[in-house]
Structure formats: C-alpha cells, structure tokens
Amino acid sequence: MLSTAEGYLTVSGVDVDVVYKDIKNMHISVYPPAGRVRIAAPHRTTEDAIRLAIVQRLPWIKRQREQMQNADRQSERKMVSGESHYVWGRRYLLDVSRTSGAYGVEITGKTLWVITPDGTDAEGRFGTLDRWYRRELKAAVPALLEKWQSVLEVEASKFVVRRMRTKWGTCVANSKTIWLNPELAKKDPRCLEYIVVHELAHLRERGHGDAFVALMDSALPDWRVRREELNAAPLGHEDWGDSE
C-alpha cells in the first residue's frame, strides 16, 4: 500500500499521479496539454488495486492522450509578423520584416525578430526560430546541472534536446542521459529547473513512489506548484517536424 497522501506510479510506461481522498470509488483523469494522468483513490486502497484500475483503462487513457496531442496545442504558427511567441515565459510579437544574408533571432523590447534571407518561406523562418530556442535551452541547462547534481549527489553523463510529443523531459537511467523538450525554452525558467531536478532525481529513484516524492520534497519543496505552472501551458504546434 502506498503510505503517502500523494505519490507516483508508472504502469505500462504511463506515469500516474496518485492522490488519496475521502471518496468511495477511484477516478482516473487525463489532463492537457501533455496528457498527465491522475488517479484519485479512496484511503487504504492498495497499490495493486490502483495498478489494475489503470491497466483496465489504458485504452481509454491512450485515446485521451492522442486527442490532446492533436488538439491541445497553440494555434498553428504561420510565422508572420504580429504573431505572439513566448521566450522564457514572456510574450513577444513576432516581426519577420528584416532580411539578411544570414539567419538570426534578436529580441528588442517586446519584439522577437526572426531575420532570414529575402524569400525565405514560413518553414525556413520556423526552422530559424526553432534552432534558436534549442540554443537558448542548451545554454541554460549546464548551470542548472552544476547546481542540482551536487545537491542530489548524482551526475548525468549528458543531456539531449529532443522534441517529445507528451513529455517535457525524460531520464534514460541506464546511460544517465536526460532528454529535454525544446518547448521548455518558451516557459518560465522555474519550469525548466523543475524538469531538470525531476529528471536528475530519477538517477537516484527510478520510479515515482514514496522515495522519489520524498526526494523531490526535500530538494525542491515547491515542485508541485512548478509542475502545475508547466502543465497549464500548452505545448507548441509541431507541423514543421523535428530538426535536431
């Protein structure tokens, strides 16, 4: 039996938040944008009973997550001047009117300039901005790793920026590799820090059980607040695909 009022389970590759309440029956919910799964269970429900309930509802959970992947995203970006785009949690207005022989991105005041050669189409402008987001994320992560690896007494072998359809980050424990979604460069830096701490914690605790929750509580007491901030923000539109 899970002993805490709140915990994690991983069932058939699906991460599940578990919350115990004064209720009679279990309730499973799937939340946008990334399809986070939460189960509310009566007090004294066994872990086996919770796992069984999740397994029985897996087809429904997967359908819900697939619908969210397709629907709960930002409106499609046309990469034209006047669109709203986000950088580290702040909103900027896109301006693509400047041209140059080179590709670049600049921020001036509340304007996000995407500068490309004359004649570049929307896909080319998107690629320019996407590569810039990846560079921003890659520049921000090393300082967080240096800070939190010592706190958690772990060490990642490397981190990889890779677009993922339902996850902000993941940890490949066997190779000690952390994957981070480039969309994190659009969110508040507090959210990136939460994901880095979360994935590093998995180098000590692979599952989402009591020990993992206790480790997160000790290292980053407000991690639940940060998680909610992040999950309240939509994943970006992905029509242009993944460019490493």
Give the per-residue pLDDT at 21.
Answer: 86
Give the span between the Cα atoms of 49 and 38, in whole angstroms: 15
Give the per-residue pLDDT at 71.
Answer: 56
The alpha helices in the chain, defined as continuous H runs, are 47-56, 58-71, 122-152, 189-201, 210-219, 223-231
pTM greater than 0.85 (yes/no): no
Q: Record the tokens describing residue 146, joined without a space.
A: 């240096």
The answer to whether 87 touches 114, Cβ cutoff 8 Å, is no
Give the per-residue pLDDT at 55.
Answer: 93
Give the per-residue pLDDT at 238.
Answer: 42
Give the per-residue pLDDT at 242.
Answer: 34
The answer to whether 217 touches 10, Cβ cutoff 8 Å, is no
SS3 25: coil
- Domains by residue range for the chain, with CATH: 6-71 (no CATH), 84-231 (3.30.2010.10)
Give the span between the Cα atoms of 181 and 235, in whole angstroms: 10
Residue with tokens 């009591």, as numbered in its chain: 210
One-letter amino acid for residue 107 of the chain: I
Give the per-residue pLDDT at 133.
Answer: 97
In b/e form, how buried is each residue of 118-130, taking b as 16+ CB within 10 angstroms?
Answer: eebeeebbbbbbb
Q: Are strands 158-161 and 177-180 parallel, antiparallel or unpaired?
A: parallel
Residue with tokens 């946008």, as numbered in its chain: 32
One-character DSSP codes across 183-225? GGGGS-HHHHHHHHHHHHHTTT--SSSHHHHHHHHHH-TTHHH
Give the per-residue pLDDT at 72.
Answer: 44
Give the per-residue pLDDT at 166.
Answer: 72
pLDDT values of the chain reduced to their tens digit, one per residue, 244 residues:
443 457 778 888 888 888 888 888 899 988 876 788 889 999 889 999 999 999 999 999 988 888 776 654 555 568 999 999 999 999 999 999 999 999 999 999 999 999 999 999 999 999 999 999 999 999 999 999 999 999 999 999 999 999 887 789 999 989 999 999 999 999 999 999 999 999 999 999 987 878 998 999 999 999 989 988 887 765 554 433 333 3
Give the span between the Cα atoms of 25 and 72, in whole angstroms: 29
Neighbours of 30 (CB within 10 A): 19
